[in-house]
């Protein structure tokens, strides 16, 4: 959530940033926020003056009574009663202005950094880097949904029977490969200094608001209505919310957490080739990185996270590219985001496997996540996160890009985790 200070001190820059994200009616919305804030402040000023007058008059009543000025004392009491009634109205008006402002702020996305390119959608993202190994496949190469059937690795039809489309059942070496990747990603994160967390996969509404999934992505989340709880779309939500309403000491930063969880997304409106096989699921496994940092160090943290994810893809021997997302393709909460995509040789298309984002103070302001430097007043932290990695499309790319006439080859880095070198 944007801070009032950001909006009032840099109004034009905020509006330009929101327009870069193609946020409709940016100027009108910001003007409305400022109007609510002015109303809140002016009402607070009147209320403060009235409260001061009430205190002053109340102190004089006793003295007037002592002096025998009963009539004047009664007038003073009447004035206090009148002010108290007025103050109730003023308090209600101030609270309403503050609530209206807060609710409006929840609907406004984060402002992108200057280095975010202009653009409307994915076609306007900038390719920053390409890497990995080129793949040569047999002429009869199969897409992963055919390979999983051929080697009995994943049963999509059984998932439909048990739950519905988008909930596959992993079997045999398919399940072992999945578990191997989870352990590999967690071990790599631990080697890089991340503390492993095992959080709940169901959160309350306050957690959803804290990281910005609510109210923006409410329709994409599975909602347990009886208990008003939400299935998490990513471990970012519970892990970042560990630091909600927390004041950290500067020496604790940067905080580096990682977590493996199941993730749940309704993916309403998805169709066609994008949902075939493992390309887009309602439930999937993911290892997430979360960092809490000081503002002056968050860009370095972001770079370290990008290097970490790139290192994973290199160890998995997959062809990849890194995209700098344009304003129109960025998430609601991000100030700067890079996507990692792996190339599926069998599908002849790029598959997104990670987004690594810097949220600046946007999430921290919602969370009230702050840090204290010495005796100085508290400041908002910066929050960052990134997938390291999301499993479904990694599995798809590994199966498709490593298929041979003898079977599917396992990358060397994964063999100690799978216990086998080939799927045959």
218 pLDDT band (50/70/90 cuts)?
Answer: confident
Q: What are the backbone dihedrals phi and psi of residue 260, each rounded to the nearest 5 degrees, phi first?
A: -100, 130
Mean pLDDT score, 226-239: 97
Q: Which of 26-35, 81-90, 254-263 has the lowest mean pLDDT?
A: 81-90
Q: pLDDT tens, 334-379? A: 999 999 999 998 899 999 999 999 999 999 999 999 999 877 789 9
Please identify which residue in the block is written with the tokens 């209206």: 100
274 pLDDT band (50/70/90 cuts)?
Answer: low
Percent of residues, the chain, with pLDDT higher than 90: 83
Instruction: Report the mean per-residue pLDDT for the chain.
Output: 94
pLDDT attached to residue 140:
87
Q: Is 4-106 assigned to CATH 1.10.287?
A: yes
Q: pLDDT tens, 398-414? A: 999 999 999 999 999 99
pLDDT attached to residue 271:
53
CATH topology of domain 122-423: BirA Bifunctional Protein; domain 2 (3.30.930)
Residues of the chain with CATH 1.10.287: 4-106
Annotated binding-site residues read 234, 265-267, 288, 352-355, 385
Q: Which of 138-142, 302-306, 331-335 has the lowest mean pLDDT?
A: 138-142
pLDDT over threshold 80, residue 68: no
pLDDT attached to residue 92:
94
Annotated binding-site residues for L-serine read 234, 265, 288, 385
pLDDT attached to residue 136:
81
171 pLDDT band (50/70/90 cuts)?
Answer: very high
Please give the model's pTM, rounded to 2 decimal places: 0.92
Residues of the chain with CATH 3.30.930.10: 122-423
Q: Which of 163-177, 209-223, 267-281, 316-330 has the lowest mean pLDDT?
A: 267-281
276 pLDDT band (50/70/90 cuts)?
Answer: confident
Annotated binding-site residues for ATP read 265-267, 352-355
pLDDT attached to residue 273:
54
Q: pLDDT tens, 286-326? A: 999 999 999 999 999 999 999 999 999 999 999 999 999 99
Q: pLDDT tens, 96-127? A: 999 999 999 999 999 999 999 999 999 999 99
270 pLDDT band (50/70/90 cuts)?
Answer: low
Q: pLDDT tens, 172-184? A: 999 999 999 999 9
Top mean-pLDDT range of 131-140, 208-217, 303-312, 340-349: 303-312
Mean pLDDT score, 221-225: 95
């Amino acid at each position: 959530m944007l801070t009032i200070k950001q909006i009032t001190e840099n109004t034009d820059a905020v509006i330009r940033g929101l327009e870069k994200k193609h946020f409709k009616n940016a100027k009108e919305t910001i003007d409305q926020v400022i109007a609510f804030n002015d109303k809140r402040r002016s009402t607070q000023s009147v209320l403060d003056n009235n409260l001061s007058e009430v205190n002053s008059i109340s102190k004089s009543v006793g003295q007037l009574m002592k002096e025998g000025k009963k009539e004047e004392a009664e007038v003073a009491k009447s004035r206090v009663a009148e002010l108290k009634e007025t103050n109730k109205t003023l308090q209600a008006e101030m609270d309403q202005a503050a609530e209206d402002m807060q609710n409006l702020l929840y609907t406004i996305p984060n402002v992108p950094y200057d280095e975010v390119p202009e653009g409307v959608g994915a076609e306007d993202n900038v390719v920053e880097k390409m890497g990995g190994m080129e793949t040569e496949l047999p002429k009869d190469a199969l897409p992963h949904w055919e390979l999983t059937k051929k080697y009995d690795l994943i049963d999509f039809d059984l998932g439909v029977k048990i739950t519905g489309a988008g909930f596959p059942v992993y079997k045999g070496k398919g399940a072992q490969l999945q578990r191997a990747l989870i352990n590999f990603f967690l071990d790599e994160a631990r080697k890089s200094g991340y503390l492993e967390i095992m959080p709940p996969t169901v959160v309350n509404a306050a957690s959803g608001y804290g990281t910005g999934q609510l109210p923006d992505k409410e329709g994409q989340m599975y909602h347990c209505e009886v208990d008003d709880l939400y299935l998490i779309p990513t471990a970012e939500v519970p892990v970042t919310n560990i630091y909600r309403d927390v004041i950290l000491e500067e020496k604790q930063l940067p905080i580096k957490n990682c977590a493996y969880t199941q993730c749940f997304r309704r993916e309403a409106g998805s169709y066609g080739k994008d949902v075939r096989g493992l390309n887009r699921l309602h439930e999937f496994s993911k290892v997430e990185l979360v960092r809490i940092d000081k503002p002056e160090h968050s860009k370095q943290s972001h770079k370290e996270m990008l290097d970490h994810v790139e290192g994973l893809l290199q160890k998995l021997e997959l062809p990849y590219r890194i995209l700098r997302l344009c304003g129109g393709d960025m998430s609601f909460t991000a100030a700067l985001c890079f996507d990692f995509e792996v190339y599926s040789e069998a599908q002849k298309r790029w598959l997104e496997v990670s987004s690594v984002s810097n949220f600046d103070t946007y999430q921290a302001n919602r969370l009230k996540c702050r840090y204290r430097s010495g005796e100085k007043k508290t400041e908002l932290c910066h929050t960052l996160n990134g997938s390291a990695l999301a499993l479904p499309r990694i599995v798809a790319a590994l199966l498709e890009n490593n298929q041979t006439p003898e079977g599917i080859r396992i990358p060397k880095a994964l063999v100690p985790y799978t216990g086998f070198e080939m799927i045959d």
